[in-house]
Amino acid sequence: MAATAAATRAIFSNTCHYHHHGSKHPRIPSTFLGTVSHPKSTFYGYTTGFTAAQKSRHGHQFLLPRASAEDDNSGGDNEAETVQVQQQPPVSLSLDDVNPVGLGRRSRQLFDEVWRKFSGLGQISRTTRADDRDALDALLIREGPMCEFAVPGAQNTTVLVVGATSRIGRIVVRKLMLRGYTVKALVRKADEEVVNMLPRSVEVVTGDVGDPLTVKAAVEGCNKIIYCATARSTITGDLFRVDHRGVYNLTKAFQDYNNQLAQLRAGKSSKSKLLLAKFKSADALSGWEVRQGTYFQDVVAAKYDGGMDAKFEYTETGEAVFSGYVFTRGGYVELSKKLALPLGRTLDRYEGLVLSVGGNGRSYILILEAGPSADTTQSKLYFARFSTKAGFCRVRVPFSSFRPVKPDDPPLDPFLVHTLTIRFEPRRQRPIEGPMGMKQDPRSFKLIFEYIKATPTGQETDFILVSCTGLGIEPTRREQVLKAKRAGEDSLRRSGLGYTIIRPGPLKEEPGGQRALIFDQGNRISQGISCADVADICVKALHDSTARNKSFDVCYEYVAEQGRELYELVAHLPDKANNYLTPALSALEKNT
């Protein structure tokens, strides 16, 4: 598009340029300018760059020798010459070409072009003229691959920046704009000061992260979220609202929005879930197996053992109910099934399970058996605990939250999962008040199944959260701040979204890209980091598959005395086209 635009515009533009010279050539009638454009407009509408170029070439043969030999005094002569041509038009030309106004215009264009090029030779640094510029910019600067900032895929990505006026958020927004992303900014108040602080074409959404309704409007149309809002004070209420609930509200709204999209596409999209089990009829219960067992043999207390019982049945009201009780110490009951995936589907393209269940609000353990399905003795067990609430709810259990039963086993590989088990055990149950105010016995349970689905995975991170390491916070409030931040992080990890959690050291307001950075996991960092570097990490992480589902600390490299270095240099100075993030992050643990 840009090229033709450039071609045609270059032709048109000469008139504008001409105005300027026109004042210096009194011999040329300036009235030409006003009348020309109208009758010719249709003609040029059909003219492609090619014909225009042809004509100009034709013209050059005609004008060239004179113009090169003469200065701009000859402008009038050229004009006169073309006037002669217009009086004796060649027969081969069409009606449009004979039009004296058009001819005059074209001759002026030709002359002007020649003159422009000629004078261009005598300049030291040729500045591109303003009209050329728009077309060139489009290719070279704004979206072009020639631009060092251009990111493939940025065109089609809308990023919601939460806390766009924060120290990091401001820079994040600018970086996104430079790279051609569409940016939405969630701000608390859209007053003039705030709006002026943001780039003009950012879509400003007013809302409060503490308010689920406004958040819902904000995530509409977004592909990714960068959360850099922090509580303004360290008052517990503020911390809870922004750092904890804020993250929760956004993840929830975003996940809901994604699901809504998947539904619209009727399961055709990559965002649609895979149905593992549906409990709509009594047949659905086949294949499910109820088992019971104990963690340890309690020989002495065996005579007080109340025993345990569990059943999985399809009720008359059309519900698949798993219920029973466990009175044995260390006992458990479980419901298990070998998974039968549809042909061509494997669980590695999914990132978690979602269960729609009802019941009386117990917590359960979800156990996945993974290993070669031919030889179940090699299977390894992975577990994750989930809570339900009284009544129906949907529970998301990402594969990332599964831990191996034997700590030495490798992390769960969803591809190998072949058996799914839901276990109930009376340990660690929260006491729940019954409807009559009387305490329910935590050893009995009832779980009504609706469906079990697998949620689809993505390669990239969906949600980037800027948290903190706790350094640089006043010590009296550090506990509270960290507690809220960690709760927020946890709610993000549990959400099933692809996440990246960045915990920068104390922020410094200085330009970024100057010092080497340390990426680390495990609360060992000691240095600060500039806001611009954090923003850069956020933006780079958007399309980096190694950043998905990772939490990490980041700070400047600690410049230690010789021989006392604690860390290896992980990342080098961010340089042109130097992607420091991928190598730095690939060394770090996933699902943290």
118 binds other proteins (CB under 8 A): yes
Closer residue to other proteins in complex, CB, 101/197:
197
72 binds other proteins (CB under 8 A): yes
Give me 337's structure tokens: 């099934």
- The stretch near other proteins (CB under 8 A) out of 61-69, 320-328, 494-502, 547-555 is 61-69
Phi, psi of 27 (to 5 degrees): -75, -20
- The stretch near other proteins (CB under 8 A) out of 359-367, 466-474, 516-524, 530-538 is 530-538
What lies within 8 Å, CB to CB, of 123 at 6+ separation is: none
Dist CA 498 CA 461 (whole Å): 4
Q: What is the largest CA-CA distance in the chain?
A: 122
46 binds other proteins (CB under 8 A): no
Phi, psi of 110 (to 5 degrees): -65, -45
Q: How far is Cα of residue 514 from the mean position of the Cα atoms in its chain?
A: 26
Instruction: Classify residue 126 as exposed, middle or buried by CB count within 10 Å of its CB (0-12, 13-18, 19+).
Output: exposed
Side-chain half-sphere CA neighbours of 375 within 13 A: 3
513 binds other proteins (CB under 8 A): yes
Which of 201, 297, 317, 562 touches other proteins (CB under 8 A)? 201
142 binds other proteins (CB under 8 A): yes
Instruction: Classify residue 164 as exposed, middle or buried by CB count within 10 Å of its CB (0-12, 13-18, 19+).
Output: buried
Dist CA 192 CA 419 (whole Å): 58
516 binds other proteins (CB under 8 A): no
- The stretch near other proteins (CB under 8 A) out of 197-205, 295-303, 358-366, 583-591 is 197-205
Q: Look at residue 190 and give its three-state secondary structure.
A: coil
20 binds other proteins (CB under 8 A): yes
- The stretch near other proteins (CB under 8 A) out of 30-38, 216-224, 337-345, 574-582 is 574-582
Instruction: Classify residue 145 as exposed, middle or buried by CB count within 10 Å of its CB (0-12, 13-18, 19+).
Output: exposed
509 binds other proteins (CB under 8 A): yes
Dist CA 448 CA 317 (whole Å): 11
511 binds other proteins (CB under 8 A): yes
Closer residue to other proteins in complex, CB, 141/204:
141
137 binds other proteins (CB under 8 A): yes
45 binds other proteins (CB under 8 A): no
- The stretch near other proteins (CB under 8 A) out of 63-71, 77-85, 319-327, 413-421 is 63-71
Q: How many residues bind other proteins (CB under 8 A)?
A: 76
Closer residue to other proteins in complex, CB, 146/217:
146
Dist CA 391 CA 447 (whole Å): 10
Dist CA 9 CA 4 (whole Å): 8
Phi, psi of 439 (to 5 degrees): -75, 135
In order of 97, 290, 334, 424, the CA distances from 293 in angstroms are 96, 10, 8, 11
What minimum distance in Å lies between the beta carbon of 166 and other proteins?
13
What minimum distance in Å lies between the beta carbon of 544 and other proteins?
17
What minimum distance in Å lies between the beta carbon of 519 and other proteins?
19
Closer residue to other proteins in complex, CB, 177/355:
177
Closer residue to other proteins in complex, CB, 22/496:
22
185 binds other proteins (CB under 8 A): no
What lies within 8 Å, CB to CB, of 568 at 6+ separation is: none
**Cα-atom radius of gyration of the chain, to the nearest Å?**
35
- The stretch near other proteins (CB under 8 A) out of 48-56, 209-217, 244-252, 344-352 is 48-56
559 binds other proteins (CB under 8 A): no
x/- site string to other proteins, residues 144 to 173, per CB under 8 A?
xxxxxx--------------------xx-x
Closer residue to other proteins in complex, CB, 180/398:
180
Which of 66, 129, 389, 446 touches other proteins (CB under 8 A)? 129
136 binds other proteins (CB under 8 A): yes
141 binds other proteins (CB under 8 A): yes
Nearest Cα to Cα of residue 533 among 559, 558, 554: 554
- The stretch near other proteins (CB under 8 A) out of 111-119, 307-315, 481-489, 491-499 is 111-119
What minimum distance in Å lies between the beta carbon of 173 and other proteins?
6
- Block residue for tokens 């330009």: 511
